[in-house]
Amino acid sequence: MAPEPTCIVCMSRPSSPIEAKTTPCKTSNSRRLCNKRSSREILPATSTYYLTSASKAKILHQAKEQLEKQNFDQQIPENINQKKTDLILSINSKMDDLRSMKYLIQEELNENENFGKQTHNLVASLCTAREHERYNLFVQDLDKISNLIHSLSGRLARVENAIQMLPANADKQEKEFLHIKKLNLSEQNKEANQLKENINRRQQTVCKILAGYLSKEQFADFRHFINMKTELIAEVRELDDKVRLGKEQMNALKESLPEEWQINLDKMLDE
């Protein structure tokens, strides 16, 4: 696995205002991660960070705590396996509901994007070339920063879960690497939110420009398009994460079942 970028600068190519931001790494720890060494030179191939995704690490950690609280080792194995099977079936049913929700939201997102194209054409016909370009860059960067913040949040959660899953006798270098990566991603997340604040200020400028060209109804349509764009993107990404988590929860629970129970489970899922 290739090492993850260590600063927002490394994650982008300067083709727009948001991508042209060149905030340097601020700490010595961050700079240590900006060199050309592969993370493989620091973390062993068997590290939890590589072998377990954030969502799977989280469910395994929660399952371990739950087992300790309920003292499952004193229960009959068949009862434990039945509870795991029932939980898998429940998760599978919820995942079907999540997929249906995602389909509806994706349809709404597509409709909003089509509406956005109409707004784009209207702006192109009314505004100057410079104002139109400013509008386009704002809309493009709005997409990028929304996805960037979501991506950084996910990567930060993955590192935090990897740290939680470290055994007491974990390698010192592995611990140090993960803590530095957490610090670095936290800084990137802070920078991304600063970029989001910049986007918000640019939105105010774009609104002032369009207010001079659009009718009240057209301007209200533009505001609705922008608000729904960020909201729907966030909802789709959140549902994707929940479905992914559900799959990994199911797989983690299924792998803990005896082979005979796994075969019976597959039959029930196929029904």
Looking at 185, 212, 239, the residue that finishes a domain is: 212
The C-alpha R_g of the chain, in whole angstroms, comes to 24
Distance CA 96, CA 102 (A): 10
| Cα→Cα distances 11→146, 219, 242, Å | 14, 34, 25
Q: Considering Cα of 194, then 196, then 198, then 204, what sign does the dihedral take?
A: negative
Dump pLDDT digits (tens) for 224-239. 999 998 889 888 888 8
Q: 138 and 90 in one domain?
A: no
Q: Considering Cα of 103, then 104, then 108, then 114, what sign does the dihedral take?
A: positive
Q: 243 and 122 in one domain?
A: yes
Q: 208 and 132 in one domain?
A: yes
Looking at 190, 212, 234, the residue that finishes a domain is: 212
Q: 137 and 111 in one domain?
A: no
Q: 201 and 159 in one domain?
A: yes
Q: 145 and 111 in one domain?
A: no
**Average pLDDT of the segment spanning 7-26:** 43
66-80, 89-103, 132-146: the lowest-pLDDT one: 66-80
Is 31 within a domain?
A: no
**pTM over cut 0.75:** no
Total structural domains within the chain: 2
| pLDDT for the residue 13 | 38
47 DSSP assignment: -
| pLDDT for the residue 244 | 84
Distance CA 173, CA 182 (A): 14
Which residue bears the tokens 């191939």? Answer: 45
Determine the residue type at 187. Answer: E
Q: 145 and 187 in one domain?
A: yes
| Cα→Cα distances 195→9, 22, 51, 233, 236, Å | 12, 11, 33, 18, 22
Q: 142 and 120 in one domain?
A: no
Which residue bears the tokens 């006798």? Answer: 169
Task: State both tokens at 62.
Answer: 């929660």
| pLDDT for the residue 43 | 58
With 50 as the cut, is the pLDDT of residue 260 above it?
A: yes
Q: Is 95 within 8 Å of 246 (Cβ atoms)?
A: yes
| pLDDT for the residue 65 | 57
With 70 as the cut, is the pLDDT of residue 77 above it?
A: no
**Average pLDDT of the segment spanning 23-44:** 45
Is 8 within a domain?
A: no
| Cα→Cα distances 134→130, 188, 221, Å | 6, 26, 18
Q: 233 and 122 in one domain?
A: yes
Confidence of residue 40 (pLDDT cuts 50, 70, 90): very low
| pLDDT for the residue 35 | 43
Confidence of residue 163 (pLDDT cuts 50, 70, 90): confident
- Answer with the residue of higher pLDDT: 58 or 132: 132
Distance CA 157, CA 154 (A): 5
| pLDDT for the residue 37 | 41
Identify the H or E element spanning 268. Answer: helix 259-270
Confidence of residue 246 (pLDDT cuts 50, 70, 90): confident
- Answer with the residue of higher pLDDT: 270 or 211: 211
Q: 119 and 249 in one domain?
A: yes
With 80 as the cut, is the pLDDT of residue 160 above it?
A: yes
With 90 as the cut, is the pLDDT of residue 219 above it?
A: yes
Q: 178 and 119 in one domain?
A: no
| pLDDT for the residue 12 | 40
Determine the residue type at 74. Answer: Q
Is 22 within a domain?
A: no
| pLDDT for the residue 270 | 85
Residue span of the structural domain in which 270 resides: 78-126+214-271
| Cα→Cα distances 125→31, 115, 210, 223, 232, Å | 48, 16, 12, 18, 27
Is 132 within a domain?
A: yes
With 70 as the cut, is the pLDDT of residue 71 above it?
A: no
Is 40 within a domain?
A: no
Dump pLDDT digits (tens) for 100-147. 999 999 999 999 999 899 999 999 999 999 999 999 999 999 989 988
Q: 197 and 270 in one domain?
A: no
With 50 as the cut, is the pLDDT of residue 59 above it?
A: yes
Output helix, strand, coil percentages for the chain, rounded to the nearest 5: 80, 0, 20
